[in-house]
């Protein structure tokens, strides 16, 4: 079976990584899966023309009901969709987008939500048949580069810091767009850095929103203790995560943060903003720490620094949680089975 797979494919983003992983699951079952960036298409008619002119496409798949799923509304082959966090956390608030997403759900053969909470909210906000929505958490696989060093990392960020090996690095992994709110902690972190210059915050991720990126760069440039690093390969990013003190999430909304799960898998403590998408995977004081304000972030960080038993507990339980709930094998079997329903 040949599938057309639409997703938002900005380089080195969670969406891109997720799409590539799901594509590999599908192809491991003997199917052909052509992954295309949803941004290539302006309307559902363009996708319908692509499929009608290439009869070898027997089905389709999309990540994000509005951003990509809407482009499948005119096709004549069966398709499935995967919810993105933006669908439920943001797009349902816009009536025009909500109506489109309902149309996508009604026509889709199946839909996948990463968490039970996302499924519940989809059923609450969108007119949908519950039986069509399946819950499958993201599968996680980490691979660490052996050549990583902080000195090189710092050079890429134009930072000049002494005693690099003694730094206590907090790593915020996110694409530069407003929903990720990368500037949420910079003011309080600067104050903390003045108290102890070894405490630094690194923001790393692709420049997705050009206008917002300029704003972030300007703020970071004038903020002590906060640095912006260029995006890296997955192996280099995982190496940085492995060597940092804690991985940070400050998003306004999340579907399921791959960076949080990757940190857990790597045995690194997580400090995540207390929002529904994060709280669905981070159990406070058990698999990580949640905070609801910049000052609370500093308070929780102090706890990680002083309470070694707490740190060991969240690291141990976080890794166990990922192993039990985010294995690749279960994810692979789920998508293989769902694709078979399109036949």
| Strands 110-113 vs 199-204: parallel, antiparallel or unpaired | unpaired
The pLDDT assigned to 233 comes to: 86
The pLDDT assigned to 150 comes to: 67
The pLDDT assigned to 121 comes to: 86
Strands (DSSP E) found in the chain: 2-7, 32-37, 57-63, 79-82, 110-113, 133-135, 168-173, 199-204, 226-229, 246-249, 270-273, 289-291
The pLDDT assigned to 129 comes to: 61
The pLDDT assigned to 301 comes to: 97
- Local confidence band at 153 (pLDDT 50, 70, 90 cut-offs): low
Q: How far is it, in rounded angstroms, from Cα 58 to Cα 313?
A: 48
Which tens digits make up the pLDDT trace of 88-129?
888 888 999 999 999 999 999 999 999 888 888 888 888 766
Which tens digits make up the pLDDT trace of 300-336?
999 999 999 999 999 999 999 999 999 999 999 999 9
DSSP annotation string for 284-299: BTTTBEEESSHHHHHH
Mean pLDDT (the chain, rounded): 91
The pLDDT assigned to 337 comes to: 96
Q: How far is it, in rounded angstroms, from Cα 221 to Cα 158?
A: 10
Q: Is residue 160 scored above 60 in pLDDT?
A: no
Q: What topology does CATH give the domain 150-325?
A: Rossmann fold (3.40.50)
Of 6-20, 160-174, 176-190, 219-233, give the lowest mean pLDDT range. 160-174
Percent share of the chain, pLDDT over 70: 94
Q: How far is it, in rounded angstroms, from Cα 217 to Cα 223?
A: 10
Q: What is the mean pLDDT of residues 4-16?
A: 86
Burial of 116 per CB tally in 10 Å (0-12, 13-18, 19+): exposed
Q: What is the mean pLDDT of residues 31-49?
A: 95
State the alpha helices, DSSP H only, in 64-185: 85-89, 95-107, 116-125, 150-156
Q: Is residue 178 scored above 90 in pLDDT?
A: yes
Q: What is the mean pLDDT of residues 35-48?
A: 95
Of the two residues 232 and 35, the one the predictor is more confident about is 35
- Local confidence band at 17 (pLDDT 50, 70, 90 cut-offs): confident
Q: What is the mean pLDDT of residues 18-35?
A: 95
Mapped onto helix, strand or coil, the DSSP state of residue 4 is strand
Percent share of the chain, pLDDT over 90: 75
Give how far the C-alpha of residue 5 lies from the chain's centroid of Cα atoms, to the nearest Å.
18
Q: What is the mean pLDDT of residues 78-93?
A: 90
C-alpha pair distances (Å), 305 with each of 37, 70, 196, 243: 42, 47, 13, 15
Burial of 303 per CB tally in 10 Å (0-12, 13-18, 19+): middle
Dihedral sign for Cα 143, 146, 147, 148, please.
Answer: positive
- Local confidence band at 152 (pLDDT 50, 70, 90 cut-offs): low
- Local confidence band at 166 (pLDDT 50, 70, 90 cut-offs): confident
DSSP state of 138: P
Q: What is the mean pLDDT of residues 203-208?
A: 92
Cα within 13 Å of Cα(108), Cβ side: 35
Please, where in the chain does CATH 3.40.50.2000 lie? 2-139+327-340, 150-325
Q: What share of the chain is helix, strand, coil (3-state, %, to 5)?
A: 50, 15, 35
The pLDDT assigned to 232 comes to: 86
The pLDDT assigned to 157 comes to: 55
Q: How far is it, in rounded angstroms, from Cα 322 to Cα 152?
A: 30
Q: What is the mean pLDDT of residues 265-283?
A: 95
Of the two residues 125 and 295, the one the predictor is more confident about is 295
Is 185:291 a contact under the CB 8 Å cutoff?
no
The pLDDT assigned to 11 comes to: 74
Can you identify the CATH homologous superfamily of domain 2-139+327-340?
A: Glycogen Phosphorylase B; (3.40.50.2000)
Q: What is the mean pLDDT of residues 135-162?
A: 74
């Amino acid at each position: 079976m040949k599938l057309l797979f639409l997703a938002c494919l900005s380089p080195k983003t969670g969406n891109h990584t997720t799409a590539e992983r799901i594509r590999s699951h599908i192809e491991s079952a003997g199917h052909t899966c052509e992954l295309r960036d949803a941004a290539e298409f302006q309307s559902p008619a363009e996708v319908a023309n692509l499929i009608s002119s290439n009869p070898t496409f027997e089905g389709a798949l999309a990540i994000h009901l509005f951003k990509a799923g809407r482009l499948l509304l005119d096709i004549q082959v069966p398709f499935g969709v995967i919810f993105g966090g933006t669908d439920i956390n943001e797009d349902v608030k816009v009536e025009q987008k909500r109506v489109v997403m309902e149309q996508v759900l009604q026509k889709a053969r199946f839909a996948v939500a990463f968490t039970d909470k996302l499924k519940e909210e989809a059923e609450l906000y969108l007119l949908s048949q519950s039986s069509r929505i399946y819950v499958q958490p993201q599968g996680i696989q980490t691979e660490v580069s052996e050549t990583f060093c902080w000195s090189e990392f710092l050079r890429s960020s134009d930072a000049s810091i002494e005693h690099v090996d003694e730094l206590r690095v907090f790593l915020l992994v996110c694409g530069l767009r407003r929903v990720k709110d990368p500037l949420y902690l910079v003011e309080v972190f600067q104050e903390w850095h003045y108290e102890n210059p070894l405490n630094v915050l690194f923001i790393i991720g692709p420049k997705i929103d050009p206008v917002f990126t300029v704003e972030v760069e300007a703020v970071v440039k004038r903020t002590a203790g906060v640095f912006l690093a260029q995006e890296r390969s997955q192996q280099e990013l995982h190496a940085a995560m492995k060597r940092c003190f804690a991985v940070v999430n400050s998003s306004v909304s999340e579907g399921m943060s791959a960076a949080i799960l990757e940190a857990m898998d790597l045995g690194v403590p997580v400090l995540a903003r207390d929002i529904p998408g994060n709280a669905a995977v981070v159990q406070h004081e058990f698999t990580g720490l949640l905070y609801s304000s910049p000052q609370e972030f500093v308070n929780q960080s102090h706890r990680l620094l002083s309470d070694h038993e707490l740190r060991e507990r969240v690291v141990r339980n976080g890794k166990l949680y990922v192993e039990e709930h985010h294995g690749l094998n279960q994810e692979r079997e789920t998508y293989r089975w769902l694709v078979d329903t399109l036949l």
